[in-house]
Structure formats: structure tokens, C-alpha cells
Copies of this chain bind each other. A is one copy, B any other.
Amino acid sequence: MTTTRKIPAGISARHVHVTEEHLKLLFGPGHKLTPIKDLTQPGQFAADERVTLVGPKGVIQRVRILGPVRKATQVEISKTDCRALGVSAPVRESGSIEGTPGIVIVGPYGPVKIDQGVIVAKRHIHFTPEDAKEFGVKDGQIVMVKTEGERPLIFDDVVARVREDFALDMHLDTDESNAAGLNQGDMVTILDDAAISAIRKA
């Protein structure tokens, strides 16, 4: 890697992706998501719609839905949220929900019980193929990322995801941004091979 370019951090608060079918059960027949803010990744948006998550040990209200609708409903929460709800969700990449726990989601029209789909998002960086080339990374590669917030740290096990319709952005959840003292848009650095190898040896 030779570039000195940095990558903006994008902090994902807890959120829910829903199917068309679940959207109707939560918000009523014919309901469409109301986009209120574009997200960094092209085509993705924060919706005005919010739901309540009901776990065996607790409840979290006003959890935002992100659009557009997807093929599977997915609830992305932090480990802190897991404890509050009493749900033991694994760290997974988005879309990899096989064998994950379910939960009850409640909307103004009614509830939905999903049998799987609750995950803690695995930290990752979105690259376009051009950006990936500049940073010298391949889709699926694990990189380390140095932060310079109020509580500096180096995230290991960060997955590079490369796709034509992505925008350069590192995704973290709120536990991770809080542990690093990072704010939305703070710039982070991919570690070079020398540093990675020194860490692995230590």
C-alpha cells in the first residue's frame, strides 16, 4: 500500500432493514418507507419510520428503519444493546444471518416476530474497485485500521468490501466508535504491512 489517503469513519447506530412483507405488518398495507436522509452508500437512506425492539430482558424504542426494503429483515444492534435486550447476537457481515437469533419488532400497525436476523455488524470498509486498487486491497481482505480520536486504538479484523456501487467509508457501530472516541466523518488510516506484521509477532 502506498497511498497516504485516509478513510472517513461512518458510525452506524442501531437500525433495522425490513422486507416489503414485514413493512406491511409493521406499518399497514400499502405502506412505503419515507426517506428522510441519504446515507453514504449510494441508494441507501434513513427512513422516517421507527420501530420498537422487544427482547426477553428489555425493550429499545424508536429504532430507525434504513431503506430500501431488502430480501430479508435484519436487525443491527451493538453488544451493549444485546445486553439490554437479552439477545446474544453474533458479530456477522450484513446478509449473513443464518443461525442468528430472532426478536420481536413492533410497529404502529402491529408486531413481527423474526426467527433469525439479529446481528452485531462486523466492522468493514466499503471501497469502489478504483479505491481498492489505490489502497492495494482485495474484496474480503482483512485489514487493520488506526484511529486518532479521543481514545486512539487500532481495529484489527476489518473486512474490505469492494463493489462498483460503494463509496469509500469505514463502518463501525456505536460501541466501537465510543471505544475509540471517534465521531462521524473522522478520518482513519489503514496500517501498512510492516505494522501489521510487527503486531502479529508481538
Contact = CB atoms under 8 A, between A and B. Distances in A.
B151 A154 contact: no
Q: Copies of this chain, how many?
A: 2
Which of A91, A154, A201 is packed against the most chain B CB atoms within 10 Å? A154
Contacts of A151: 91, 122-123, 157, 176
Contact of A202 (B79, B179, B192, B202): B192
A146 to B, nearest CB: 6
A115 to B, nearest CB: 23
Contact of A194 (B154, B155, B198): B198
A132 interface: no
Main secondary structure of the interface of A (DSSP, over half): mixed
Contacts of A80: 78, 80, 174-175, 178
Contacts of A83: 174
A116 interface: no
21 contacts: A80-B80, A80-B174, A80-B175, A80-B178, A122-B151, A146-B199, A151-B176, A152-B157, A153-B153, A153-B155, A153-B156, A154-B199, A175-B178, A175-B179, A179-B179, A191-B199, A192-B202, A194-B198, A194-B202, A195-B195, A198-B198
